[in-house]
Amino acid sequence: MSARPILLVAGGAGFIGANFVRHVRANRPDWQVRVLDALTYAGDRRRLDGAGCELIVGDIAHRPTAAAALQGASWLVNVAAETHVDRSLLDVEPFLHANVLGVQRLFEAARLAGVAKAVHVSTDEVYGETRGGAFRETDALAPRNPYAASKAAGDLMLLAAWQTHQFPLCITRGVNTIGPWQHPEKAVPLFTINAIRGQPLPLYGRGAQQRDRLHVDDHASAILTVLERGEPGEVYNVAADNHCDNLTVAQRICARVGAPPSLIHFVTDRTGHDWNYALDAAKLRALGWERRYDFGAALDAAVDWYLASPDWWEPILEGEFQAYYDRQYGERLAGAEAFRA
Ligand SMILES: NC(=O)c1ccc[n+]([C@@H]2O[C@H](COP(=O)([O-])OP(=O)(O)OC[C@H]3O[C@@H](n4cnc5c(N)ncnc54)[C@H](O)[C@@H]3O)[C@@H](O)[C@H]2O)c1
């Protein structure tokens, strides 16, 4: 019997990573999936319970660890990263470590290990904000916050690796993603959990910023499509055309949970808060990918998962998260104006 091909998912104990692992296990059952994850505050091995993969705990920036994890792997997908914009405003160094140095070392190790194809998962934020029109893959990068700048730096290092070594890699740039197991620091889980607990929903500014929201299973299918069918050296935007302003999102969450919309509180905006991101994903659709969830279906599915899963998120609210939350929203919520329908 021939050995099963091995896929290494770096960052597989994170939100998109764990959902991607499950998507692959369900759709490519003959693949062996191995995860390398540092289990930072954002990583959680419980996301992989019953997923049928091996977990190696380690840092992508540690060369021997990366090399050992890649041994025998045919493919690499990298979703390991520091990901929260607000935290990058407080301390950028972990972002430079994971999103630049870590990416460089992981892909160098993959090249030396003879990996046949690799996908690096990046973000729409590298293009900066838009006030009209959708970005294409050939547009200039113009990141506007430290998280986005670190992701753009990682992308450029990898495009250089393709030019100089022809290491067969693709980059995906996805829009805001929602679904099961997303860390409570991110807007949709935070609003949902606060609505469930009868706590105020801290909404930046007047909630007028817009985002395109993609269900995580659609993001996972996009990554798999690019791994299998993407042209080496190419970038693929991943978009859902599910644009909606943040106030509407918060209102819909309250309605779904059965909480009063007066829980929504307008708080001082994030510094340099990008107005909108919009991507043209025609290049990805040409590979045969389509999203399955429209805005309502994606948001309702995400909210329903948090309603059904307090066992997962309640323990996260204690400890480190509480300190972060108080620092981020404590002063902002004191005296904040409540939304009136
Ligand atoms: N969540 C979104 O809305 C979204 C949208 C577009 C793109 N992305 C991109 O997708 C990727 C994954 O995002 P996510 O939301 O799943 O993030 P996440 O914060 O939920 O998970 C990140 C994972 O990476 C791990 N990690 C961090 N540093 C590491 C290191 N040095 N070595 C090994 N593991 C490390 C963490 O432990 C965690 O498990 C990121 O690159 C992000 O930029 C996310």
Active site residue 306: no
Residue 245 neighbours by CB under 8 Å, 6+ apart: 207, 208, 209, 210
pLDDT at residue 115 in the model: 98
Q: Are strands 201-204 and 235-238 parallel, antiparallel or unpaired?
A: unpaired
In order along its 341 residues, the chain shows pLDDT tens digits of: 458 999 999 999 999 999 999 999 999 999 999 999 999 999 999 999 999 999 999 999 999 999 999 999 999 999 999 999 999 999 999 999 999 999 999 999 999 999 999 999 999 999 998 888 899 999 999 999 999 999 999 999 999 999 999 999 999 999 999 999 999 999 999 999 999 999 999 999 999 998 999 999 999 999 999 999 999 999 999 999 999 999 999 999 999 999 999 999 999 988 888 888 899 999 999 999 999 999 999 999 999 999 999 999 999 998 899 999 999 999 999 989 999 98
**Inter-residue contact 178 to 213 (CB < 8 Å):** yes
Pairing outcome for strands 210-215 and 337-338: unpaired
Long-range pairs, 20-25, Cβ under 8 A, ≥24: 20/77, 20/79, 20/219, 20/220, 20/223, 20/224, 21/48, 21/51, 21/53, 22/51, 22/220, 23/217, 23/220, 23/221, 23/224, 24/220, 24/224, 25/51, 25/52, 25/53
Q: Which residues pair with 8 in a beta bridge?
A: 34, 76
E strands along 41-194, which residues? 54-57, 73-78, 117-123, 169-174, 176-178
Is the distance from the beta carbon of residue 12 to the nearest atom of ligand 1 less than 6 Å? no
CB 251 within 8 A of CB 180: no
User: May I ask the CATH class of domain 6-178+213-238?
Assistant: alpha beta
CA 247 to chain centroid, in Å, comes to: 21
**83 C-alpha vs ligand 1 centroid, how far in Å?**
5
**Ligand 1 in reach of 102 Cβ (< 6 A):** yes
Q: Are 329 and 267 in contact (CB under 8 A)?
A: yes
Phi/psi of residue 178, nearest 5 degrees: -135, 160
Does ligand 1 come within 6 angstroms of the Cβ of 38?
yes
Residue having the nearest C-alpha atom to atom 7 of ligand 1: 123
- Catalytic entry in 127, 147, 277, 306: 147
Cα–ligand 1 centroid distance for 332 (angstroms): 27
- The pLDDT score that the predictor gives to residue 2 is 59
Given this model, what pLDDT does residue 335 score?
82
Residue 144: Cβ-neighbour burial (10 angstroms; 0-12, 13-18, 19+): middle
Tokens of 112: 């030396």
- Predicted local distance difference test score (pLDDT) of residue 230: 98
pLDDT of residue 272: 82
125 is catalytic: yes
Helix (H, G, I), strand (E, B) or coil at 37: strand
Ligand 1 pocket, residue 13 CB under 6 Å: yes
- In the chain, domain spans: 6-178+213-238
The encoded tokens of residue 146 equal 């430290």
To test the pocket of ligand 1, the residue of 55, 57, 79, 172 to mutate (highest count of ligand atoms within 8 Å of its CB) is 79
Instruction: Based on the residue annotation, tell me whether 147 is a catalytic residue of this protein.
Output: yes
Degrees to nearest 5, angle at CA 321 with 93 and 145: 35
